């Protein structure tokens, strides 16, 4: 027992790294407020109020689960509207061309108006580029199902991006996917990684936590890297959309082709007279009745004088049990962009005469359309001239009947 008295008592370290560490810990604890030191003790101060808040948020959540959502999409749904939005010079046109090339396997040199492509067995896309104008942004936010929000990584988020997100908020939020471009402008890898992370978190705060952000790291021959674009397109092809309530209860059309069919003679006499315009496009939302009044953004309210069904210019492929699309099924419908040598303008239709920059026959995908245009180009005499010079032999041995005989 005696030995115990001599046992050494533990003495706290007064110096050295361990002592320093302990000291700093104590100091830190003293700096904290009681709430910070013991957060659980202060978490609920007003039990009743908290209970009410919790109950309310639960109610909202449950209500969301139970709203019956009638799926009104027809058997063959209209193409999904994909809008490419971003500040100037961020790469919108480049991405547009890359996406079209990925799906349709042909290059659009000059993008004009919406372009419709077949993206899969049961999916078609109408792609539109939104230029940097507030009115265009508002129009696009109303109709887009998916928005590709382009951000220049070397620059960061710009006013236009936030403006567009704000506009979306009032029109029912469409699906939004971020795309970072100009990543090749970073020389330092570490800096790039940091920027990516920072922009991702900022994007999440603006859209929602975990929103998808794609990276396009640099260009090859003026286009984005093929695999990166392919991945982005795969994502779009299989993406699911939750229909927006307001949209599925109102009919709307995105005009992808426009023709002025007013009488040219009338216009010559009175250039300011009312025009007659026919608009082409897929009806979306719900059924559209003939002769109803429509609102055309930027123009005003009009009534439809007549409406017709037209054959689908870009039909979905046949439902066969095959996994990938064949070359023939990779349709593209770009009436304003000059695919197949025909361009529709405001008041005329132009046929491409095959200059040095037009499609060549070697381009196998556009060959059938080109043949048609080529046959039109090769016509030397109009039809009435041909008729006059033609003759028909009714019975063998008789003189042939010509145009002159008919009139006589
Ligand atoms: N280095 C680099 N250049 C890019 C990238 N993306 C686009 N560019 C270039 O940026 C320029 C503008 O690209 P566009 O696709 O015309 O941009 P845009 O957004 O359509 O421009 P606007 O229609 O004028 O608003 C082009 O010269 C592209 O080559 C990128 O990721 N890296």
Protein residue with its CA nearest to atom 7 in ligand 1: 91
Q: Is the pLDDT of residue 194 over 50?
A: yes
Instruction: Go through the domains of the chain in sequence order and give each one's CATH number.
Output: 80-244 (3.40.50.300), 338-377 (no CATH)
Of residues 51 and 340, more confidently modeled: 51
Residue 176's closest CA among 114, 132, 239? Answer: 239
Summarize the confidence of residues 183-202 as an average pLDDT: 89
Protein residue with its CA nearest to atom 30 in ligand 1: 182
Q: Which residues line ligand 1 (CB under 6 A)?
A: 86, 88-94, 132, 181-182, 184-185, 216, 218-219, 222
Protein residue with its CA nearest to atom 28 in ligand 1: 91
CA-CA distance, 82 to 23, in Å (whole number)?
59
Which of 11-15, 328-332, 337-341 shows the lowest per-residue confidence on average (mean pLDDT)? 337-341
> Please, what sign has the CA dihedral across residues 333, 338, 339, 342?
positive
CA-CA distance, 140 to 363, in Å (whole number)?
33
Identify the helix (H) or strand (E) that includes residue 236: helix 226-238
Identify the helix (H) or strand (E) that includes residue 388: helix 383-389
CA of 179 to the centre of ligand 1 (A): 13
pLDDT digits (tens, 9 = 90+) for 276-327: 888 888 888 888 888 889 998 888 898 888 888 888 877 777 655 555 666 5
48 backbone dihedrals φ, ψ, rounded to 5°: -65, -45
- Whether this prediction's pTM lies above 0.80 is answered by no
The predicted structure's pLDDT at residue 211 = 87
CA of 210 to the centre of ligand 1 (A): 27
What percent of the chain stands above pLDDT 90?
17
ipTM (interface predicted TM): 0.95
Helix (H, G, I), strand (E, B) or coil at 181: strand
Q: Is the pLDDT of residue 396 over 80?
A: no
Residue 301's closest CA among 309, 293, 312, 290? Answer: 293
Of residues 379 and 228, more confidently modeled: 228
Of residues 75 and 2, more confidently modeled: 75
> Please, what sign has the CA dihedral across residues 283, 286, 291, 292?
negative
Atom of ligand 1 nearest to the CA of 86: 19
Q: Is the pLDDT of residue 369 over 60?
A: no
Average pLDDT of the chain to the nearest whole number? 80
Q: Is the pLDDT of residue 82 over 90?
A: yes
82 backbone dihedrals φ, ψ, rounded to 5°: -110, 120
């Amino acid at each position: 027992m005696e030995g115990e008295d001599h046992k050494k008592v533990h003495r706290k370290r007064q110096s050295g790294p361990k002592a320093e560490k302990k000291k700093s810990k104590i100091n830190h604890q003293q700096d904290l407020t009681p709430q910070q030191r013991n957060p659980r003790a202060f978490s609920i101060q007003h039990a009743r109020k908290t209970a009410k808040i919790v109950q309310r948020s639960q109610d909202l959540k449950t209500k969301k689960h139970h709203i019956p959502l009638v799926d009104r999409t027809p058997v063959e749904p209209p193409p999904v509207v994909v809008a490419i939005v971003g500040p100037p010079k961020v790469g919108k046109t480049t991405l547009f061309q890359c996406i079209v090339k990925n799906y349709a396997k042909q290059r659009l040199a000059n993008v004009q108006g919406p372009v419709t492509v077949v993206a899969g067995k049961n999916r078609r896309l109408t792609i539109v580029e939104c230029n940097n104008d507030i009115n265009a942004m508002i129009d696009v936010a109303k109709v887009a199902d998916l928005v590709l929000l382009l951000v220049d990584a070397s620059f960061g988020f710009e006013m236009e991006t936030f403006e567009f997100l704000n506009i979306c908020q009032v029109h029912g939020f469409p699906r939004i996917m971020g795309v970072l471009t100009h990543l090749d402008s970073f020389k330092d890898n570490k800096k790039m990684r940091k920027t990516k992370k920072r922009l991702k978190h900022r994007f999440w705060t603006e859209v929602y936590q975990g929103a998808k952000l794609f990276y396009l790291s640099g260009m090859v021959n003026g286009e984005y890297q093929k695999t990166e674009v392919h991945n982005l397109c795969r994502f779009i092809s299989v993406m699911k959309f939750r229909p927006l309530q307001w949209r599925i209860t109102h009919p709307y059309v995105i005009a992808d082709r426009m023709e002025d069919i007013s009488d040219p003679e009338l216009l010559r006499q009175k250039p300011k007279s009312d025009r007659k315009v026919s608009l082409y496009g897929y009806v979306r939302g719900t059924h559209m009745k003939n002769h109803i009044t429509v609102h055309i953004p930027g123009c005003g309210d009009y009534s439809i004088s007549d409406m017709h069904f037209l054959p689908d210019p870009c039909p979905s492929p046949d439902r066969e049990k095959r996994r990938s699309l064949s070359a023939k099924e990779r349709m593209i419908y770009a009436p304003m962009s000059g695919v197949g040598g025909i361009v529709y303008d405001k008041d005329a239709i132009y046929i491409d005469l095959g200059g040095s920059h037009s499609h060549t026959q070697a381009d196998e995908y556009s060959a059938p359309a080109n043949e048609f245009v080529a046959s039109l180009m090769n016509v030397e005499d109009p039809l009435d001239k041909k008729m006059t010079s033609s003759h028909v032999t009714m019975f063998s041995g008789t003189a042939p009947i010509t145009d002159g005989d008919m009139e006589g």
